[in-house]
Structure 1
Amino acid sequence: MPASADPHLAQLDTDERWRALTTLPAKLSLYRDEVSFRESWRIAQEVLGTQVLTVLQQTTLLTLRPEAILARKADDCLEFLRRHDFAAIHAERLRYDRNSIRDLWRYQWNVAQLDSIEVSDLVHYRAPALMLVLRDLHPAPGTPASLRLTAVKGTSDPTGRTPRHLRSVLGAPNRVLVVIHAPDEPLDVVRELGVLFDRAALRRVYATMCQEGADTTPRSEIDDLYRSTERYSLRVDKAIDALRRELRVRASIADPGRLALLGRVDDRLSEAEHGGHLDWRGWVEDLDNCGLAYDSWPSTVVASHHVEHTLPGVRPLIPETGRRGWLAGDGLLLPRQVIR
């Protein structure tokens, strides 16, 4: 791997210190040219000093996404984290925008269908999110905190989870409404913070990683988010029922021309329920012709479940979490230390 011209990144090349952050050199090659990653790494070094690698291995992030706030999943999530020995030491409220969404998942969304991305945007824009800084109180042999959390979190695809995974516990129904997000490796922690926060916020968040103290439930932040947002269900069957109720109400007063349009929407719902994919652009047009909002919560939930999610035969630009490399001893796992 060529040495970086950035002196802060060049320090990672000394004695392959980068192996404390990732077991995937190709991932580092992609990240090291990103301004957001470089800024975040420099500030991490400035704030955390000689303990920077240790701190990044012993702490991680988990974001309660907008749908987690809307569905009131925060307390169930925190209880799961406590049972798995992750202590929440800080909470940071954030709003996703178009650029941060695309930057954050740049190396995974190359496989995503554009319909799925458009529906994801509706979810991300609908409410604020809450990022938790977590300390790992019971590290697993051979892996940093971020990898242990990834293992218990579960995949975005429900078919790849068990009922014990966090996403299953929280009722995440599909690959759009995944409820939570967490970075895979310490390197991803650095990059994610750089994508989401400005320099002042980066200093604040990194400073919390070295503070002492027990698990702190971010009660005031959660209550404030709940007060400022409506409550919605993530259940797809409830969303379909809500749409059908609306269709029946409108059909009862519709003229023959509008009645045919309403029937077309109902037909699309039936096709999706029986295994067909929902054509997003056609769905939006049909709802608009009926005077229904395509971005209503029931419509968004139905579309999140029934649009095509991935392009066939395409692999993510970063296809691995790094877990296999850590378990094989490719990572540089540092001795556990008291963080000060």
Structure 2
Amino acid sequence: MKIIQTFFIITLLWLSQGVQAERVKDLAAIAGVRSNQLVGYGLVVGLSGTGDQVTQISYTRQSLRNMLREFGIIMPPGVNLQPKNVAAVSIHAQLPPFAKPGQSIDITVSSLGNAKSLRGGSLLLTPLKGADGRVYAMAQGNLIVGGFGAEGNDGSRVTVNIPSTGRIPNGATVERGVPNPFSNGGPIILNLHAADFTTANRVAAAINSAIGAGTARPLDGASIQVNAPAVPAQRVSFVSLLENLEVDPGEAPAKIVINSRTGTVVIGQHVRVQPAAVSHGRLTVTITANPAISQPPPLSGGQTAVVPRTDIDIQEEGSRMFLFAPGVSLGEIVRAVNQVGAAPGDLVAILEALKQVGALSAELVVL
């Protein structure tokens, strides 16, 4: 079997393209300007008999009692609620930076109990809290569920996608904003998405070239400190100028990433192989059961019996050996292994063996 052709296509396209300039906004983020996670607990009502089985999920019944009590409805102590159109759910959302009270955000609703489907349900008013326990948004609305399920009386069931999870676009209203250090004045810190000393140095050099010497200085391989105006309006204009500057990022280190479960192998551009000889071959053992019938002679008093018989066939493919010269490039590695006809699993073994003998000048990452 040939190595996955898509792998070669992606690799060759990568080799044919040079490193292109990227905007600073694609390489880094401003320290402190980030989203925050919100979470809440609530009830989804209006389900068509697909809600929680409250005989097994007691907290759904307790939550329903508490909600009714808030509206002045007190259930007698001996009455057990058995609603099939209610489900206990968790709600989570991302509160974006600079979100202001009154703005809307999307939310995701997931079943906590044994509800079969949330299709057709409506989320009741639910507070969403941050890690500090404070309420930052209020959620409510009709769910959009991408999956559905059907079940027969005989126990058969058909499920498409995941009907126990849904979304509500603009389903929460922001009640409180999260302060961030952007408006506090002082220097701005740019944090690179991927730490690289070369990229950090080039970003600082590009900022100093565009704005003025001494404006930016790299702190380490991941952060660049930039002197910025103190007035908020001027800071916004300044950051707009910064994030649109184009920089040639540093090239990634030599690395090979292997996913042993899927057989995916990605080889970086700067991978090199020292002098090495590789022999590749496979041994196939096939065991086939061919039972035979043993028939006794006439009037012998014997009984017909089944005699087990096993045929074993061993085949060894012709081994091929190829030689890597000093400093072999990625393209030559791909061609050599492809000519041998190595499958993805064989390629993984070859690369690991090259790493063990010290002939592979790259980091080998196995997922």
| TM-score, normalised with respect to structure 2 | 0.23
Higher relative contact order (CA 8 A, sep 6+): 1
| TM-score, normalised with respect to structure 1 | 0.24
Structure (1 or 2) with the greater helix fraction: 1
Larger radius of gyration: 2
